[in-house]
Amino acid sequence: MAAVDPSALSAIGAPALHIPDGFVSGPVAGVGFALSGVAIAVAVRATNRSLGERTVPLMGVMAAFIFAAQMMNFPVPGGTSGHLLGGALAAILLGPWAAIIVMTSVVGLQALLFQDGGLAALGDNVFNMGIVAPLVGYGVYWAFARFAHIEPWLRLAGAFAAAWLSVQLAALATTFELALSGTSPLGVALPAMMGVHALIGIGEGLITVATVAFVLATRRDLLEAEVAVSEV
């Protein structure tokens, strides 16, 4: 695909993580489907191993919450808006593998029902938002939370860092997919995507911290039963 004018970035959500049809090349889309398929298969296998009686209901509640929360936008500078991604929050409450299943369901339903992201680009969208975000969010959160017995505030700091970095890494993956597809030069897409999503990540972090703080106050046990990353 020929490179498009930089203003075309605004046409995909100004700039957005949901990539529409026509913005990624066939090879990039194919790799996205392949990587997402492998990750989903691993996630299903790992989740089945550790499936508890409350896991499925909690996954349903989390999927419904993230799906609804993504409908609500908050303004950020630059004439655009952001919304909750939810990958880090799902991973914090469910563990990384169940979170991948939840986020894949949310991203898939958005594409099918609301055309929020193209079907041809679904593999890339699932990879960015449903795989990168939960895995990064989980790893960062527990890097902080493992020391929460020393300083309790580290758990909330970890929630914020996990949410912010998960958005940034998802945006970075999207940037390279657009650049590799010839949709926009890396020098244009990188500052546009990373700059806006650095601000969106702050909103994501605040929402995630508020949710984790609420869970800590009301159902602390939900934060003590996450699936370990090594359980594959």
pLDDT tens readout for residues 207-230: 999 999 998 888 887 775 453 333
Which of helix, strand or coil describes residue 1? coil
Q: Say which residue the tokens 């500078």 belong to.
A: 77
pLDDT digits (tens, 9 = 90+) for 16-75: 678 888 889 999 999 999 999 999 999 999 888 877 666 777 888 888 888 888 777 666
**Domains observed in the chain:** 19-224 (1.10.1760.20)
pLDDT digits (tens, 9 = 90+) for 70-128: 777 666 555 455 678 899 999 999 999 999 999 999 999 988 888 788 899 999 999 99
Residue 145 has pLDDT above 70, yes or no: yes
- Which of 203, 198, 50, 19 is CA-nearest to residue 121? 19
Whole-model pTM: value is 0.85
Beta-sheet pairing, 80-83 with 73-76: antiparallel
Q: What share of the chain is helix, strand, coil (3-state, %, to 5)?
A: 70, 5, 25
Q: How far apart are CA 203 and CA 205, in angstroms?
A: 5
The pLDDT of residue 107: 93
Distance, CA of 93 to chain centre: 14
5 phi/psi in degrees, rounded to 5: -60, 145
CB 70 within 8 A of CB 114: no
Specify which residues 75 forms β-bridges with: 81
Instruction: Decide if 154 contacts 147 (C-beta within 8 A).
Output: yes
User: Is residue 137 within 8 Å of residue 165, measured between CB atoms?
Assistant: yes
